[in-house]
Amino acid sequence: MRSSQNPKAVNAFAIEPVHAWLSVFLTIQLKTQLTRKCILFISKMLVRPCFRYHSCPQPYSGLSFGLVLFLASHQFVFSDTIRDPAELLSEVSVYGTTGTILEQPKNITIIDRQAILKAPSNSLIDLLSREANITLRSQTGHDKYGGVDIRGMGDSYSSNVLIMVNGVRLNAPDLSGADFSTLSLGQIERIEIIRGGGGVLYGDGAVGGVVNIVTRGAKHTSAEIYNSYGSFDSFDSRLNAAFNNGDLSASLNAAHYQTDGYRDNAFLDKNQLSSQLAYQVNQAIELQINFRIHDDEYGLPGPVDYSDIDNPDLRRQASTPYGGGETHDYTGGIGSSLDWGQWGITKLKLAYRYRDNPNQTANYWALNQIIQPWKNSFDHRELDIRHQLNFATGPISQDWNVGYYQRLGSVSRRENGRNEPNQSRLKQADFDNQSGFINTQWSLPIPIILNAGYRHDSFALQRESKQYDQVCSYVPVFPFEPLDCENHWLSLNPDNQHWHSFAVDTGLTWNINDQLSWYGSYNHSYRNPNPEELVLSADDIQPQRGQNWETGWRLNTEHRDELSLALFRMRNQQEIYFDNSINRNYEDATLRYGLELSGRFQPIEAISVTGNFGYINARFENTGLKVPLVPELKGQIGLLWHATARLSVSVSAEYIGSRSNGANIVPTVNAPKLEAYQKVDLKAFYQWGGAEVFAGINNLFNDFYSTSAYGSDFYPMPERHAYVGLTYTFPNSGE
Domain 89-221+254-425+448-729, CATH homologous superfamily name and number: TonB-dependent receptor, beta-barrel domain (2.40.170.20)
3-state SS, residue 75: coil
Phi, then psi, of 58 in degrees rounded to 5: -110, 65
Instruction: Name, in order, each residue with C-beta under 8 angstroms of 592's C-beta and a sequence gap of 6 or more.
Output: 151, 152, 568, 569, 570, 571, 572, 616, 617, 618, 619, 627, 630
> For residue 136, what pLDDT is reported?
94
> Is there a contact between 649 and 643 (Cβ–Cβ < 8 Å)?
yes
Distance CA(705)–CA(309), nearest Å, equals 9
Instruction: Enumerate the H helices of 185-305 as residue ranges.
Output: 199-202
Please give the sequence-ordered ranges of beta strands (E in DSSP) within 528-561, or none if there are none.
544-556
> For residue 417, what pLDDT is reported?
61
Output the CA–CA distances (angstroms, integers) from residue 648 to 81, 409, 723, in the order listed.
11, 48, 16
Domain ranges of the chain: 2-69, 89-221+254-425+448-729
CA 621 to chain centre: 30
Distance CA(642)–CA(401), nearest Å, equals 43
> For residue 732, what pLDDT is reported?
53
> Is there a contact between 449 and 442 (Cβ–Cβ < 8 Å)?
yes
How crowded is residue 124: how many other Cβ atoms within 10 Å of its Cβ?
Answer: 25
How crowded is residue 73: how many other Cβ atoms within 10 Å of its Cβ?
Answer: 11
CA 118 to chain centre: 20
Sign of CA dihedral 567, 572, 575, 579: positive
> Is there a contact between 147 and 137 (Cβ–Cβ < 8 Å)?
yes
- Give average pLDDT by consecutive 10-residue segment, the chain, 735 residues: 36 38 38 37 37 40 40 43 57 80 92 91 93 94 92 93 95 84 90 95 95 90 93 95 92 95 95 95 95 95 94 93 91 96 96 88 48 80 96 93 96 75 81 96 95 97 82 75 76 84 97 94 94 79 95 91 96 90 90 97 94 97 94 97 95 97 90 96 93 96 94 95 94 47
Instruction: Name, in order, each residue with C-beta under 8 angstroms of 649's C-beta and a sequence gap of 6 or more.
Output: 640, 641, 643, 682, 683, 684, 685
